[in-house]
A and B are shown apart, each in its own frame.
Chain A
Amino acid sequence: MLLSQQKPLEEILKSMEGETNIFILGCNGCAEASGTGGRPQVLEMKKELEKDGKKVTGFTVVDLLCEKALVQSRLRGKAKEVKDADSILAMTCGVGVQAVAAVSNKVTHPACNTIPLGGMRGEWRGSERCRECGDCVLEATGGICPLTACSKYLLNGACGGTTKEGKCEVDPEMECGWRLIYERLEKLGQMEKLRQIYEPKDHSKMMPPKGLRLTERWALEQGK
């Protein structure tokens, strides 16, 4: 279980600056339970985007957006709507956003921050990992999380330790996360994002809020 919270609408709209056509993806897993990505929130978001002058080319709610194979098969049924969109808005946790970005080849905007719960929750996630930092940066990094994909959790680009093979010098088995981000942004035509300077993380947001420090179910009940 990952608990998410919708980003402020202004932040979401700002991330779509210059875009008109948006495809919305919701998630019937943790995001539905969190009240951030179920069908009602997707419909509400559609209304908000249209109010702002966007055209919503389509939307769907997938059972588990963190499952890349599932996302891929569901998007296949919506191929035209996705193709017509400038970008995808993913109303889900950090894992879901990364899974969508990985399979869609589209600019994928995170609609949520993933809230720290402060520990393992007995589940196996795919190759995409979310640090539950409470202030999602996937908008800036092509949908690949630098907090989990980079050994040093760097926010401003690769250190000098990318090997010839493009791996991380800390672990030859591990891809350099920032090389992956570089390649993704290049593919998406978003290289200008590499030039922005990102401020250090607010680590206070990485602590579970006091009210969420007990059990997950309790957290969910209290969180709403």
Chain B
Amino acid sequence: MGLQESLASKKFVVTSEIGPPKGTNIEEMLHDAELLRGRVDGINVTDLQSSVMRLGSLAVCHLLKEKGLEPIFQMTCRDRNRLALQADLLSAYVLGIKNVLALTGDYASLGDHPQAKPVFDLDSVSLLGVIKKLEAGTDMVGGPLNGAPKFFVGAVVNPGGNPVEAQIIKMEKKISAGASFFQTQAVYDVGAFEKFMERVAPFKVPVLGGIILLKSAGMARFMNKNVAGVFVPEPLIQKMAKAEDRAKTSIEIAAELIKELKGMCQGVHIMPIGWESKVPAVLDAAKL
């Protein structure tokens, strides 16, 4: 069952992600992907995550597809202009990639090539519009295509945005531009997320709540300070600080969050950030 069918079936959907390596050694990444086989409904492949140069998302999505996994091609507007974005979308389609996640992307100076020229020729909303046009058989300026692609397209939203109302307005724009599902920034503050979900429920578009595995109390504090829209409540930080086995505690916290989110949204998107091997244990603990 593909991601689109999984979401349509109204079951509780789980997606996770793998980050391509910096270099050509792909064994570990493919091993991580194998751990997710049969456990998740889709696997995001990040697009030069954190603006760090590495193996590209498109090639890795293709490798996953060949292995019978369900990749979600993350596509940011940071590194490609409108020609390259459209070309890569056509490339993805002929390589059998169906799911696309359209993002604006982190700013270039946050990564390992701060000297780079940031592109942002399109933004997430206009990229969604371009995908729709390609599907209708033309490029973004109306030139006819010899063969049109068909995708299942998602987008992201930050429930902790400031102000959150601006994020909700943009979410609606993304829906009208063609987004069929959403993955969110990491959620730790369940109460705030519940309020957000009440606001966006009328849109009737599936939302997968974001789960980032906490690795330490320090990481939680770092995110609180530096990652926009992420708020880890103090009790969770204390739990990590006191943990004897941090991985075990992290898995417990993630599973607990997933259980709480279960009544609020249609699924979760687990971002392990280096702890890919722990995702099956999280799912076990969450009884998924």
Please list the residues of chain A having a beta carbon within 8 angstroms of any beta carbon in chain B.
151-164, 166, 169-170, 176, 178-179, 182, 191, 194-195, 197-200, 203
Known contacts A197-B125, A197-B177, A200-B126, A154 near B163 by CB under 8 Å = no
The complex places the Cα of A197 from the Cα of B229 at a distance, in Å, of: 24
Q: State whether B163 touches A182 (Cβ < 8 A).
A: yes
- 9 tightest A-B contacts by CB? A160-B158, A156-B125, A157-B170, A170-B107, A152-B120, A154-B123, A159-B104, A162-B162, A200-B126
Q: Return chain B residues, CB-CB under 8 Å to A166.
A: 162
Known contacts A154-B120, A156-B125, A158-B167, A164 near B173 by CB under 8 Å = no
Q: Which of B118, B126, B172 has a CB less than 8 Å from the CB of A155? A: B126
Closest to A192 in B: B169
Question: Does B176 make an interface contact (CB < 8 A)?
Answer: yes
The complex places the Cα of A160 from the Cα of B163 at a distance, in Å, of: 10
Closest to A171 in B: B109
Q: State whether B123 touches A156 (Cβ < 8 A).
A: yes
Q: Return chain B residues, CB-CB under 8 Å to A182.
A: 163, 165-166
- Provide the B140-181 mask, 1 if CB < 8 A to any CB of A, else 0: 100000000000000011100111011101101100110000
The complex places the Cα of A159 from the Cα of B185 at a distance, in Å, of: 12
The complex places the Cα of A195 from the Cα of B125 at a distance, in Å, of: 11
- 8 A-B residue contacts at CB 8 Å? A156-B126, A158-B166, A158-B167, A162-B228, A164-B162, A169-B110, A169-B227, A197-B126
Q: State whether B162 touches A179 (Cβ < 8 A).
A: yes
Q: Which of A158, A179, A200 has a CB less than 8 Å from the CB of B122? A: A200
The complex places the Cα of A130 from the Cα of B129 at a distance, in Å, of: 27
Q: Which of A153, A160, A164, A195 has a CB less than 8 Å from the CB of B167? A: A160
Q: State whether B167 touches A170 (Cβ < 8 A).
A: no
Q: State whether A163 touches B124 (Cβ < 8 A).
A: no
Q: Return chain B residues, CB-CB under 8 Å to A194.
A: 166, 169-170
The complex places the Cα of A155 from the Cα of B177 at a distance, in Å, of: 14
A152, A153, A199, A203 pick with most chain B CB within 10 angstroms? A152
Known contacts A152-B120, A156-B123, A164-B162, A197 near B176 by CB under 8 Å = yes
Q: State whether B125 touches A157 (Cβ < 8 A).
A: yes
Name B91-137 residues within 8 Å CB distance of A. Answer: 104, 106-107, 109-110, 118, 120-126, 129
Question: Does B215 make an interface contact (CB < 8 A)?
Answer: no
Known contacts A153-B120, A194-B166, A200-B82, A160 near B126 by CB under 8 Å = no
The complex places the Cα of A152 from the Cα of B104 at a distance, in Å, of: 9
Q: State whether A160 touches B156 (Cβ < 8 A).
A: yes
Closest to B125 in A: A156
B83 to chain A, nearest CB (A): 11
Closest to A150 in B: B120
Q: Return chain A residues, CB-CB under 8 Å to B125.
A: 155-157, 197
A185 to chain B, nearest CB (A): 10
The complex places the Cα of A152 from the Cα of B176 at a distance, in Å, of: 22
Q: A162-B229, A200-B140 are in contact. List 18 more A-B contacts (CB 8 A).
A: A152-B107, A152-B118, A156-B173, A157-B166, A157-B169, A157-B173, A158-B161, A158-B166, A158-B170, A164-B228, A169-B228, A179-B162, A182-B163, A195-B169, A197-B125, A197-B129, A197-B177, A203-B121
Closest to A191 in B: B169
B149 to chain A, nearest CB (A): 20
Q: Return chain A residues, CB-CB under 8 Å to B126.
A: 155-156, 197-200
Q: Return chain B residues, CB-CB under 8 Å to A164.
A: 162, 228
Q: State whether A200 touches B161 (Cβ < 8 A).
A: no
Q: Return chain A residues, CB-CB under 8 Å to B157.
A: 160
Q: Return chain B residues, CB-CB under 8 Å to A169.
A: 107, 110, 226-228
Closest to B172 in A: A195
